[in-house]
Chains A and B, each alone.
Chain A
Amino acid sequence: MNHSRSWRVRGLTAAGVSAALVLAACGGGGGGTGSQQGSSNQSSQAVFNAASTSVVNPSDKKGGTLKFANPGDWDSLDPGETYYAYSWNFARLYGRSLMMFKSGPGKEGNQLVPDLAEAPGKSSDGAKTWTYKIRKGVKFDDGTEVTSADVKYAVLRSTDKQTFPNGPAYWEAPSALNLPNGYKGPYKTPNMNTDSAIETPDEYTIVFHMKKPFAAFDYLVQQPDTMPVPKDKDTGAKYRNSIVSTGPYKFADMQPGKSFNLVRNDQWDPATDPNRKALPDRIEVTLNVNADDLDNRLLSGDLDVDVTAVGVQPAAQSRVLQDPTLKANADNPLGVRNWYTSINPTVPPLNNIECRKAIMYGMDHTGYQTAYGGQFAGGDIATTILPPSIPGHVDFDLYPSGPDHKGDLDAAKKSLEACGQPNGFETNIAYRAERPKEKAAAEAFQQALGRIGIKLTLRPYPLADYFAQYCGLPPYVVKNKLGLCINGWGADWPDGFGFLSQITDSRVIRPAGGSSNTSVRIPEVDKMLDTALTELNTDKRNQIWGEIDKRVMQEAVIYPGVYSKALFVRSKNATNIMVTDAYGEYDYLGMGAQK
């Protein structure tokens, strides 16, 4: 069940050497806390951050055009290959996966509902086998009916990582689908029998066989790679430009790298689809729009949505925050990402828990928050690993940092004494050189810990190899005394498994490097993760996630940093504006247009 990385953080990195200008989370996420109500004015209907918890401009009016823009380009529009949160959010417009996240505001958007499937999966064989019934009468945009074979084909083709290098790697991971040995996808090994992995006993039934239990399997089949692909229309890596739609919209005027439009798909039958309102007639998408230009056009009403949902650039940010009218028409949801810092217990003296605690107590939380962009663009101060928008999150604070969150220096000094380093110690802090926010966070650490005598040296490393050769490479960490590694994680879906498995399971740490988990090695937590994987009861499973969170925090191996937030500008033309917790973005599926 390994996957190499989570939803990627979308940064606007200029080609080649120049530093990334903006790095914001994939997600913001709806309203867990709803703390800021800003300059709300009872007589005015626009309220800051309203769309995070409720629907702004509700309407059922059909018609009109929505204008989306992307400051860059999709990794791929192919449902079998795409791996950005915004892309998964958007893909629901043109494709139907077995399950999907409901279109709704805040926590409502976190619910899984059957889409192409008639009902959630039925498990057998100890959560290793999962069966879905497919709805009858669902058609591709060419009029042919969707069968279980099309879903099977879609999943199998997505496992070919040579053809589709960008996509998530859940299916073909060593412990995932029970694929035959040597299977290399339907292009290279077309005649291999794959019934050991996916069976299609009839046209409307599909059965998945996993090697290991996977209790939260419904989350896995909400991935766009279960959106059916017709075998005879599949063109491999080129399919991204000629996608056959099953949703209410299909592609038109595809100009790769420039623009495309989504127009109504007349073969889509609302009777087979209880989840989609499909309000606008047209969605126009422009690619490669300068990020600052994009913000200005959002503010002027010329565009409706920055589809990547990274939040506005610093220039527009200060404009929006300083102008009460603009601010009232902005949203500031919490994401499904935590920008944390690993405290590596393999590096002396951090092998002593008291020295790690000194860091937890001594760090200035507000400094960290400011480094990431402050309370609006950065995020809320975190005291746990799981962000509030993920089910299972429990609010606790094991290392209180004083009323002003500037750190508890007395407690920190006591911990230092208990550690046998009363005058502090020296260690290094690593960060990704291309990320100004991480650099600022490292500098904030240096300043704050300097107060208790801990001397930090900054060590920037290239983003591309950060985990492969530096922070994720255990011998390197020890040899170069990287006591702290600035880190961050966003879940592929709002669930404890997606969030915790890759960053708290010690078994993902590989001696050859590459793991995002650099500091958590607690055998007890490994066992708890295994228990959760076989726990079919959702509530009990969520409870385990909270317990894991607490257990890891007790060891003081992760400084929790901030739960990411992003500042969005609300469209002037759009209706039904709401932020879904599933993606921490505006819900693109429910959005309508006035004109």
Chain B
Amino acid sequence: MTLPPEAGAEAEAAAPEAVLAGAGTTEGRSLGQIAWMRLKKDKVALGGGIFLIFLILVAIFAPLIVKYLGYPPNEFHQELIDTAGGTLEPIGRFGGMSWDHLMGVEPVNGRDIFSRVVYGSRISLLIAFLATLLSVAIGTTLGIISGFIGGWTDTLTSRLMDIFLAFPLLVLAIALAGVFPDDAFGLHGNQLRIALLIFIIGFFNWPYIGRIIRGQTLSLREREFVESAKSIGARRGYILRTEMLPNLIAPILVYSTLLIPTNILFEAALSFLGVGIRPPTPSWGGMLSDAVVYYTQPHFMFWPGMAIFVTVLAFNLFGDGLRDALDPRANR
């Protein structure tokens, strides 16, 4: 495994010049193809990736899955709860698990946990994806500008990043989500909550990716191909778009993949603290929060906890694999 990385490094450095020259068919392999080849060999990352695709499908087809395998996520089934004995725990073993209720039912109101976990994936993934997109958009733009232009622009942006990094994000999020009214910006109820969560999580996470992009840009702008582009009179915008950005795709992709699980956890934390999605709309963090009171009923916490755990693990494995594939020098 020593040779291919070397070749990869060459290819990576060579690719942009090849593109510039308009002669990309020398070896018949683009950067993407090489990365894909390496990724295919990494079985763990591939497993993570496949699971992620599965998860996204589950989120998209949640109503269909629940229609055949579950119940409406907010429907009460109090006949499955021990109200006569007064314990309010699900009747039957393992929290009332059965073919009807695959993961059992919640104590007190008897809602189907399977359906709620499935529906919860929609909220978690939607918020995590969109928040990541927002972070990446802001982070990349400001990172490139800061790194490329340098000077006082760089100083200003870097200090701004420092300020954002020093922000007590959780406290701010709780305060913001707590004081917000129910109608604002033409949005209402849960739509507004989702938009708000995306904004909070996305807007305050951009400096992480911003710093990485700035660092990459700093090293890239000194490279020969940029110098040569400058020397033949290319404009700034052209260099940014055509010379820099393609070389930054790899780190952007890797850090996005690694940022998504962080954001899933953050959303879960906010829901857990009661400032996330409004009940009874299911979300994983919200389910955990509900389950805390009933720690004698471990199944209630197990399933949403497991969902978060597996999802975050899958994203991390896939992200690691992607990093290795795109930047083989990083992890030897």
Contact = CB atoms under 8 A, between A and B. Distances in A.
Contact of B278 (A18, A19, A460): A460
A371 B108 contact: yes
Interface string A167-199: 000000000000000000000000000000000
A434 interface: yes
B293 A374 contact: no
Given A314-B293, A370-B78, A433-B274, A440 B109 contact: yes
B289 A19 contact: yes
Interface string B88-119: 11000000000000000000110000000000
A459 B182 contact: yes
B247 interface: no
B279 A458 contact: yes
A374 B294 CA distance: 14
Interface string A362-386: 0000110011011111000000000
B262 interface: no
Interface in B246-299: 273-274, 278-280, 289-290, 292-296
B87 interface: yes
Contacts of A322: 85, 87
A447 B75 contact: yes
Interface in A271-321: 314-315, 317-318, 321
Contacts of B89: 318
A557 to B, nearest CB: 23
A373 B280 contact: no
A321 B87 contact: yes
B86 interface: yes
Interface in A4-32: 17-19, 21-22
A440 B108 contact: yes
Interface in B290-315: 290, 292-296
- Contact size class for A? 35 or more
A446 B279 CA distance: 11
A425 B319 CA distance: 48
A462 interface: yes
B242 interface: no
Contact of B279 (A315, A447, A460): A460
Given A314-B294, A315-B295, A19 B274 contact: yes
Contact of B78 (A321, A366, A458): A366
Nearest to B170: A17
B86 A374 contact: yes
A462 B109 contact: no
B86 A377 contact: yes
Contacts of B290: 436
B164 interface: no
A457 B189 contact: yes
A128 interface: no
Contacts of B155: none
B187 to A, nearest CB: 14
A264 interface: no
A541 B293 CA distance: 42
Contacts of A375: 83, 86
A371 B109 contact: yes
A370 B83 contact: yes
Contacts of B78: 366-367, 370
Contacts of A459: 182, 278
B133 interface: no
Contacts of B85: 321-322
B279 A373 contact: no
A337 interface: no
Contacts of A366: 78, 83
A384 to B, nearest CB: 23
B174 interface: yes
A447 B89 CA distance: 19
A555 interface: no
Contacts of A440: 108-109
A307 to B, nearest CB: 22
B74 interface: yes
B182 A318 contact: no
Contacts of B83: 366, 370, 374-375
B181 to A, nearest CB: 8
Contact of B292 (A21, A317, A444, A480): A21
Contacts of A108: none
A157 interface: no
A436 B189 contact: no
* A366, A373, A375, A440, most chain B CB atoms within 10 A: A440
A149 to B, nearest CB: 49
Contacts of B74: 443, 446-447
B293 A436 contact: yes
A107 interface: no
A434 B89 CA distance: 22
Interface in A222-250: none
Interface in B53-94: 74-76, 78, 81, 83, 85-89
Nearest to B75: A447
A209 interface: no
Contacts of B76: 367, 443-444, 447
A570 interface: no
Contact of A317 (B87, B273, B274, B289): B87
A439 interface: yes
B112 to A, nearest CB: 13
Contacts of B174: 17
B178 interface: yes
A208 B289 CA distance: 51
A374 B88 CA distance: 7
A370 B292 contact: no
A22 B293 CA distance: 8
A434 B274 contact: yes
Contacts of A462: 178
A314 B296 contact: yes
A459 B180 CA distance: 12
A271 to B, nearest CB: 47
Interface of A: 17-19, 21-22, 314-315, 317-318, 321-322, 366-367, 370-371, 373-377, 433-434, 436, 439-440, 442-444, 446-447, 457-460, 462, 480
8 contacts: A314-B296, A321-B87, A367-B109, A370-B108, A444-B76, A444-B109, A446-B280, A457-B278
Given A375-B86, A460-B274, 19 more contacts: A17-B174, A17-B273, A18-B273, A19-B274, A21-B292, A318-B296, A367-B76, A370-B81, A370-B83, A370-B109, A371-B109, A374-B88, A376-B86, A436-B293, A442-B279, A446-B74, A457-B278, A459-B182, A460-B278
Q: Which 5 pairs from chain A and chain B are nearest by CB?
A: A376-B86, A318-B87, A315-B296, A374-B86, A374-B88
